[in-house]
Structure 1
């Protein structure tokens, strides 16, 4: 057998060459973002404000689609063409655009292909047809601060969702400084990417140029937002204090408020929206909407993918869930059963309404699912175990191939991720922007019996879903390119 020997010098030279190409992409990505309101990504992984290493990682991620990494030699020329075309506002997946070129260029040059594909926005000079929507975060806890980070990240040229204010109850004389510090530093999600300034006299926090008014109030119905220049705002209630239409409608009685979104499961007839599943049911007349729960968002897309292909007869959902702020650090009184016991020292068996809530997004699963939960001593990332009986028999390989395909080439690719590494653990999914990540190696299938394991960042992944619902309510989605979807079969043919 002949052994292949790699030259260390050549490997290092290749790496340095790739680093140089990735570095060359950064100013192009930044120019498109700031001058043209164009958000670039690689298979859904945003490239905005990313380091050289993160850009290289994003290119390597493309191996999920094929056996090869996405070549920087292919993406750098594409970015240069996009920059020269002086585009209008858009979201452009450069990996999918390049793949589409490889599939159907039909003798055209790359520039000719891109001009035709993006004809609607070529020469628009950064023009953004979207209206801007003022956003108020009512509550500034775990989800509220992550939403703030995401909205600041998406601020771009000031179009779309505009974070204008947060509303909290004053906690101390130095409340503003403490709020800013919690936004700046997070024990789970790390430091804020950028700079934060506090103006005590004006009562504001400025983060990466985004001016945020901090308003102190105990009553959501008495705030005059127009006094701060805020109008027709979308209020995102992160407190969970009110979960029905009567309670949440208090926000609508405040001057300057147009719509309300609850970051928790709603009660009564409120629409529980899981983006990717039933966001299309949101209408202009819906003034109060809920974004369901983190667990419902994690499992509903996977259940839809399974039900559409194999049929779900019935099942049980067991979540192993990180502890949350509503539990006690050490044993103390709590009105909920078992939740008064120390969250840091115990596994705590508790209830979850996620299984029943799935039916609000997927009516076809009404009455087919039960659920329970175990809170465990980890600060973030949970896992849902789906124990299902299917209508049609299948195999582990067939289920995994289907879910992998859905994670890459379907309308659910922003919600479902797939991984088959034998070494991953919960902390590997901190910061995941997908609602749920299927652990393919853990799948068990025997005829119509299926057990599936779905990881989810119950804080950050859920917050990404909330922002998607916000964009839907506000109607501020930029046009997305490429328009056409590709399938695994097409990719295989191209290779």
Structure 2
């Protein structure tokens, strides 16, 4: 047998193992509301090749490839336990087991590592929480995809309605088509049908009522059987407490804004300050995509090294608030053609840091350039630290933060030398540290942070909504604080 034959045989064996993992992962998700992760990446509804690629990706961040032969025994061990709703990272199980010297079997170690999700301490499955989307643009449709994806277990969050202004002929058909196909993020994973007579979109069995209204005051959500719902406003039309309070109509309990909030509206970056949300707070903001990209790594650096001052320069993809061709715009430069120009513009991300990290005394400044790509941006975070360090130390620290810390869902890490923006379309992390571009000299560190300003941000929005709804399930093994 040749070397090539050996490689192919090995691939086929790993394919067979990955194939055997799919029904186990699906059953845990459907029947027990358990999401199986691999280095913070969900394996639910993933193909054989996707599972293998996710295992291989571990090489970039952990230094060596993780094999399905290593993780399968832990997955099998989970099926023997009386698990409650949770997220379980089998990569972390495999790696912590590798360094454990007590001689425990895989089954014994797994039972101990996820003990909080079993027995009397486990969380009981909750009734679904109603969610309403106000607006159905770029972020609205991606949030809808995520809500539908996470409804697979029948618990957690349930998208009940979308509120939009009445468009032209076949309005609901066209909106469903935009949900079904996306030029950047690809096809919707599942089936979508339209019930025009009842003004409904049915996505993977989820009936979503399309409500036409020109103003929040026109809607009584209880008329549609909606109660205690969380409304996600992705229009950005109202950004202060007075304006967003218009949404607190019958059937709506809380309002979450997908733009920076103004005044006393809390700006929340999940992973950093979500635990400061008061139980009775009815109105909050998820800040901006750029704020979500820079605040987690900024917190990580401040915790370890201290930060005296910083500047963030964002190179941001163009958005719908710019013109395709030169035309009138209220902003000085955004009227110039978005796909033909680099456009200097303002960003509120730097000032928003103070809301998310009130204990950070460092002055952070910021500016932004819009560039001719439709998605994925990069933030260049230039920091003066409180102590000197080295590039190797910073990269080792951030790699570990991405793998085992409470910020592992926010911060990702790549050492790929040829990475470009398109490689991060669909990333579920708030930001991805580019190891190759990182520069450190003495007390100065420059971090290059990629982020999918559409999808990664939408994932952060969902995490905040899960938190305030009480369906944000714990992760095992517990992250290292």
Same-fold call, TM cutoff 0.5:
yes
In the aligned structure 2, how far is the partner of 1:389 from the partner of 1:67? Answer: 28
Instruction: Note if contact 1:237-1:263 (Cα within 8 Å) is conserved in structure 2.
Output: yes
Equivalent residue, structure 2, for 1:321: 316
Aligned match for 1:107, one of 79, 86, 103? 103
Query: TM (normalized to structure 2)?
Result: 0.96
In the aligned structure 2, how far is the partner of 1:53 from the partner of 1:22? Answer: 8
In the aligned structure 1, how far is the partner of 2:291 from the partner of 2:375? Answer: 16
Instruction: Note if contact 2:308-2:361 (Cα within 8 Å) is conserved in structure 1.
Output: no
Classify 1:16/1:85 alpha carbon distance in 2 versus 1 (closer, same or farther; 3 Å).
same
Equivalent residue, structure 2, for 1:257: 252
Instruction: Note if contact 1:131-1:476 (Cα within 8 Å) is conserved in structure 2.
Output: no
Does residue 349 (structure 1) correspond to residue 352 (structure 2)? The answer is no
Aligned match for 2:210, one of 192, 210, 214? 214
In the aligned structure 2, how far is the partner of 1:367 from the partner of 1:63? Answer: 35
Equivalent residue pairs, number = 480
Cα displacement string for residues 373-394 of structure 1 (whole angstroms, at most 9, x for unaligned residues): 1111100001111222222122
Classify 1:364/1:118 alpha carbon distance in 2 versus 1 (closer, same or farther; 3 Å).
closer
Q: Which moved more, 1:391-400 or 1:160-169?
A: 391-400
Query: TM (normalized to structure 1)?
Result: 0.93
Classify 1:419/1:118 alpha carbon distance in 2 versus 1 (closer, same or farther; 3 Å).
closer
What's the CA shift for 1:64?
4.2
Cα displacement string for residues 344-375 of structure 1 (whole angstroms, at most 9, x for unaligned residues): 11111111110111111112335601111111
Equivalent residue, structure 2, for 1:293: 288
In the aligned structure 1, how far is the partner of 2:61 from the partner of 2:422? Answer: 24
Output aligned runs, 1:186-225, within 5 Å: 186-225=182-221
Instruction: Note if contact 1:37-1:128 (Cα within 8 Å) is conserved in structure 2.
Output: no
Aligned match for 1:438, one of 416, 427, 433? 433
Partner secondary structure for residue 344 of structure 1 = helix
Aligned match for 2:81, one of 63, 85, 91? 85
Instruction: Note if contact 2:308-2:362 (Cα within 8 Å) is conserved in structure 1.
Output: no
Instruction: Note if contact 2:86-2:476 (Cα within 8 Å) is conserved in structure 1.
Output: yes
Equivalent residue, structure 2, for 1:44: 40
Equivalent residue, structure 2, for 1:229: 225
What's the CA shift for 1:138?
0.4
Cα displacement string for residues 92-149 of structure 1 (whole angstroms, at most 9, x for unaligned residues): 111112333333373332223333444454479x984334211001000000000011
What's the CA shift for 1:66?
4.4
After the TM superposition, list the runs of 4 or more consecutive aligned residues in structure 1 that deviate by more than 4 angstroms: 64-67, 119-124
What's the CA shift for 1:480?
2.4
Equivalent residue, structure 2, for 1:397: 392
Instruction: Note if contact 2:318-2:371 (Cα within 8 Å) is conserved in structure 1.
Output: yes
Aligned match for 1:413, one of 408, 413, 422? 408
Instruction: Note if contact 1:144-1:238 (Cα within 8 Å) is conserved in structure 2.
Output: yes
Partner secondary structure for residue 298 of structure 2 = helix
Give ranges in structure 1 of 5+ residues lacking alignment.
487-495
Instruction: Note if contact 2:61-2:415 (Cα within 8 Å) is conserved in structure 1.
Output: no
Instruction: Note if contact 2:402-2:413 (Cα within 8 Å) is conserved in structure 1.
Output: yes
Output aligned runs, 1:453-468, within 5 Å: 453-468=448-463
What's the CA shift for 1:439?
1.2
Equivalent residue, structure 2, for 1:62: 58
Q: Which moved more, 1:321-330 or 1:58-67?
A: 58-67
Equivalent residue, structure 1, for 2:128: 132
Instruction: Note if contact 1:314-1:369 (Cα within 8 Å) is conserved in structure 2.
Output: yes
Classify 1:314/1:123 alpha carbon distance in 2 versus 1 (closer, same or farther; 3 Å).
closer
In the aligned structure 2, how far is the partner of 1:296 from the partner of 1:67? Answer: 29
Partner secondary structure for residue 316 of structure 2 = strand
Instruction: Note if contact 1:88-1:121 (Cα within 8 Å) is conserved in structure 2.
Output: yes
In the aligned structure 2, how far is the partner of 1:484 from the partner of 1:448? Answer: 28
Classify 1:436/1:67 alpha carbon distance in 2 versus 1 (closer, same or farther; 3 Å).
closer
Does residue 284 (structure 1) correspond to residue 306 (structure 2)? The answer is no
Cα displacement string for residues 186-245 of structure 1 (whole angstroms, at most 9, x for unaligned residues): 000011011111100111111111111111111112311111111000000000000000
Instruction: Note if contact 1:356-1:367 (Cα within 8 Å) is conserved in structure 2.
Output: no
